[in-house]
Structures are given as structure tokens and as C-alpha cells.
Amino acid sequence: MMSGAVGRQALVDEGNAFPEAFATTRLADAINWARKYSFFSYPFVTACCGMEYFSVNGPRYDTDRFGAALPRFTPRQADLLWVVGTITQRQAPILRRVYEQMAEPKWVVSFGACTSSGGPYDNYAVLQGIDRIIPVHVYIPGCPPRPEAVLDGLIKLQERVQHERPGTRWAGLDLHGSGRKLG
């Protein structure tokens, strides 16, 4: 009885705490805030890094905490492209086409050493970094990356999305994930 009365009183107090409450923000900030917690992933998995990607998407490391767990089965429904593994010259047009199929706004994560720079495969067959054919927003180093590195990359991407301004195609590509200027 007693506790019920207290609880009711608390509700009344809370309702009075912010009379005629409202919050102000910029529309861009609100939109970016919504976007950064609602990534729809498209994993483009070609090599051994894929194992690490599956593991980090599983329950133990749980990218769902960041709103980035649900993979889509077509790039047309996705806005976050995970490029995971070695990309050969022969695969490059396919990756480019997958990227072009995604609707704006869209982001690209380069997962692992091979994807970012060709890794150990410095030869005629392997593309020396996917940033030669598509823009990349976050590079995650490692061979393969630790799950902590992947989560760190995801958080950096969120920070970066928060700082983006709509209307520019490769917005903020000269920025770190933290929003600082490169270089």
C-alpha cells in the first residue's frame, strides 16, 4: 500500500519535473543519430577474414549492441558494405557493381589487411586496396583483425556518421572516424 502511494507520487513529481518539455537539435544531427544506430550490413566476404567476421557478428561480441547486426541478402537493402577478405583484380568489377547497387546513404568498411592494401599478396592478381575502386570510410587493420578492433572500427564509423553532413557524396572522406581531420 505504502509503496504504491510513493510510486504514484513519484510519477506525479516526474511529470512536473519538465513542464512543457521540449528539446532542440539540428535536423542533420538528429538524422545522423538515427542512422548511426541502425546499420544494415551487406557482407562481401571472400577469404579467411570471413571467419572472423562471423565470429564478431555472433552472440559473444554481438554487433547488435551497436545496431549493426542484421545482414541483408542484397546490397539494394543495405547501407553498410563490409568488404572482408582479399579482392582480386578479377573480382574488382563485381565489388564495384555491388557498391553501385547500394542506395545512398552508404558506407564501406575495409576489413583486414588484404582488403585495405592487398596484404601479403603484392602481385599481378590482387587489387592493392579496395580504395582504388570504391571509397572506404573505415579501415580495420589486422590479419585477421581482433574482434575488439572490429568493434572499435564500428564505433569509429558511428562517430563519423554523426559528423557527416548530408548532400555530399563522399562526405567526410578526409576525416578520421573520430571526426578529426586526416593528416
Partner 1 sequence: MSTEAPPSDAEKPQLSPLMVKVNARLAPLILEHREFRGDDRIHVARENILAVAGVLRDDPELAFDLLLDVTAIDYYGQPDDFELRREVWDRDHVTMRRLPRRRNLMALPEKGPHPRFAVVYHLISTSHLHRLRIKCRVPEDDPRIASLTPVWPGANWLERETWDLYGIRFEGHPDLRRIYLYDEFEGHPLRKDYGKLDEQPIQAYVGPGAKEPRRPE
Determine, following the binding rule CB under 8 A, whether residue 85 of this chain makes contact with partner 1: no
Report the distance separating Cα 161 and Cα 139, nearest Å: 15
Region 120-149 residues binding partner 1, contact defined as CB under 8 A: 122-125, 127-129, 131-136
Minimum distance, C-beta of residue 81 to partner 1, in the bound complex (Å): 14
Q: Amino acid identity, residue 24?
A: T
Asked if 44 and 93 count as a contact pair (C-beta separation under 8 A), the reply is: no
Q: Give the per-residue contact string, 41-70, with partner 1 (x = CB under 8 A; - = no).
A: ------------------------------
Among 56, 60, 87, 49, which Cα is nearest to 71's? 56
- C-alpha distances (whole Å) from 161 to each of 30, 75, 82, 84 are 11, 19, 16, 21
Minimum distance, C-beta of residue 137 to partner 1, in the bound complex (Å): 11
Give the length of the chain. Answer: 183
Q: Which is nearer to partner 1, 16 or 123 (CB)?
A: 123
Residues that bind partner 1 (CB under 8 A): 89-90, 92-93, 95-96, 122-125, 127-129, 131-136, 170, 173
